[in-house]
Chain A
Amino acid sequence: MISSYTLGIFPRSEELIEATRKHTSNLSSLFLKETKEYISLQKKAKLGYVSDPLLKWDDIFRPFAQLKSVKFAALNRIYEMNTFYRRLFFKNGVKGGGNIVKSNLAISLLPKNRTVCLPEPYTFADRHLSPKNKSKDEFVIELAKMLRKEALTLVKAGFKLIQIIGPSIAYNINKVDLDLVKEGLDILTRDVKAKTILHFYFGDVSKKIERLLDLPVSGLGFDPTSTPVASIKKYNFSEKSLAIGMVDSYMTKVENKKKCISEMNQIVSKTKPKDVFVTTNFDLEYIPKEFAQKKILVLGEIARGIKYV
């Protein structure tokens, strides 16, 4: 199977940025209008899975601020990007969860072939603050349990594919405790009846692909701007799905369709994956809306051009 989807948050339009800043009376209707537009565009692009553009989310972790006993801490840089997120402090550990993500999505607007992203537990723990009496391992496990509840709710709500975003694994690949990552994912994905694709970006994971193939997820997703394609081609993905972020969310230049299709065909013939996905390498919000729209369309075209035997 060849399919496609986008990762994470989409960019707000200039109009929406201004309306949010001024808190204009038409703000809610504007959010709704742009959400509908982005969903329509993904359908027009014939993406295999359609995402909520998450326009109200100020960062990928922000909805979890609604969890009990979470307080906002200082702004922190998103890895090495010129964008910041608000750190969350889990004052009394991780409590609640199960309906946070779902309640922050425009479910009724999404088609049946819907996808959504969840943070990978190690990444979540790496980016936020636990109470002093909790070890990092305990924090990861608590977060994984909470995220599992979220995933089960999302499956019930019809999500067929869950993107598990793990940039901290990629960013810290030489230091990360992959056993702990595995433990967290074991909990998160247990009994989750949807495809789970773990995405790596913001770091080169080429030297650990063999270990990553052991992780309890349906598939792995790579960013070719940080993990060289040549290193991915060395492995057999017959037991896993493979997602490649051919569309670069950190460049306004639109991808050369032919070149991407040819590259994907080569990857597929070498790795023989169970399923193939073409995706963005990370959130489209790192480019302005005008460019994001063009990239969504080209993403669909690339996916349709791949030959999978």
Chain B
Amino acid sequence: MSKLFPTQEIGSLRKPSSLLSLVKKPGISDEEKAKTRNDAALLNIRTLEETGLDIIYDGEVRRVEMYEEPVRYIDGFDFAGRVRSWDNKYYNKARVTGPVKFKGNFHEYEFKFVRKNSKKEIKVPVTGAYTLADWSYNEHYKSKEELIIALARNVLRPLIKDLVKLGAKIVQIDEPAGTSHPSEMDIFKESINESVKGINTKIVVHACFSGNDYKVLAPQMSEIKAQQYTLEFANRDAWNLGTSEKTRKGFQVLKLFKEYGYKGEIGIGVTDVHVDEIESPQLVRDRILFAAKALGDPSKIYVNPDCGLRTRSRKVAFNKIKSLVQGAGLARQKFK
């Protein structure tokens, strides 16, 4: 993208209440459900466009959740039941009981719809092989590594290939588990590289909340076949303004990326997705300016929230995005 500090979303937004209440209604027809889903997707697309973001999607409005959705459509998985994420938040965990197999592009309709209805550049998120394996019980393959590589080759690669065939220019591989096992970083690298083998499109890798501040990712970044990483920083950063080392403590690891010779793009998380307080445009600006300085090349900086904003109300989420867009504008002015 030619402009400095392009802005983008990571993926999920809280679903509109109209959609939630309708899909729970008994006796509702498939046509009505489909229409409501289309309306909800359209609402998200328009609202994200109005915030001024440069790169958008549909807030993953049709997806149950980032793990359960793909698993529903992959052979070899069998849902076991709900397991705690935290407190009383649970996810539907599956076990792998047979060879994993791609049955068809489960994001096809969604992608075509966004492509047809969006005026902006689009980035399609897909859940990565490593995360799918890590969040499942492996009760078929001899090792976790074997399962991950099977998912990368037999599911992710055909899925991404098909999306590219349909016109996807940017594919974001979501890997929240990607950096959570420091001793498995080689497997993680291999899983991405196998997933994108022979594919010619822009690949973005999103990893978040591993608890190790990407220190384990830094040495691998240049060897992973991705053009961009979208990462979380804001939740570890201070809220006061400024571009000093001390103030921008959440962004320090960017220097490590540079030390390891990483020359690609970074989508920096400037918005904490776990608090309602809205980051001011000035705070966003300072985070961007610090990141640009730390990485040494402002043209490599993209701007996004830490992660998907589904944890926030829609009002808070869109206000955070508006502020993010304004902050990127302020940062751009400093480079005029």
Contacts and interface: CB of A to CB of B under 8 A. Distances in A.
A82 B177 contact: yes
Interface in A267-283: none
Given A252-B95, A253-B139, A58 B87 contact: yes
B163 to A, nearest CB: 26
B274 interface: yes
A86 B88 CA distance: 12
Nearest to A291: B80
Interface in B87-122: 87-88, 90-91, 93, 95
A219 interface: no
Interface in A141-172: none
A262 interface: no
A80 B274 contact: no
A264 B81 CA distance: 30
Q: Which of B81, B83, B135, B274 has the most CB of A within 10 A?
A: B81
A82 B95 CA distance: 15
Contact of B84 (A77, A83, A250): A83
B210 interface: yes
B86 A288 contact: no
Interface string B252-285: 0000000000000000000000100000000000
B90 A17 contact: yes
A257 interface: no
Nearest to B275: A74
Interface in A59-102: 59, 74-77, 80, 82-86
Contacts of B209: 77
Contacts of B243: none
Contacts of A84: 85-86
Contact of B80 (A58, A82, A287): A287
A12 B90 CA distance: 10
Q: Which of B87, B91, B134 has the most CB of A within 10 A?
A: B87
B93 A288 contact: yes
A14 B181 CA distance: 29
Nearest to B177: A82
Interface residues of B, number: 25
Contacts of B81: 14, 288-291
A59 B88 CA distance: 10
A286 B83 contact: yes
Main secondary structure of the interface of A (DSSP, over half): mixed
Contacts of A11: 83-84
B274 A74 contact: yes
A285 interface: yes
B211 interface: yes
Contact of B211 (A77, A285, A286): A77
A188 to B, nearest CB: 26
A251 interface: yes
B137 interface: yes
B82 interface: yes
A266 interface: no
B139 A251 contact: yes
Nearest to A283: B84
A76 B85 CA distance: 11
A88 to B, nearest CB: 14
B326 interface: no
Nearest to A14: B82
B137 A252 contact: yes
Given A17-B90, A250-B137, A251-B137, A288 B82 contact: yes
Contact of B83 (A74, A80, A251, A287): A287
Nearest to A75: B86
A18 to B, nearest CB: 9
A155 to B, nearest CB: 30
A290 B78 CA distance: 14
Contacts of A14: 81-82
Interface string B231-257: 000010000000000000000000000
A265 interface: no
B86 A252 contact: no
Nearest to A81: B180
B85 A82 contact: yes
A36 B180 CA distance: 36
12 contacts: A59-B86, A76-B211, A77-B180, A77-B211, A84-B86, A85-B86, A86-B86, A251-B139, A252-B139, A253-B137, A285-B84, A291-B81
Given A76-B211, A291-B80, 5 more contacts: A82-B134, A82-B177, A253-B137, A285-B84, A290-B80
Interface of B: 80-88, 90-91, 93, 95, 134-135, 137, 139, 177, 180-181, 209-211, 235, 274
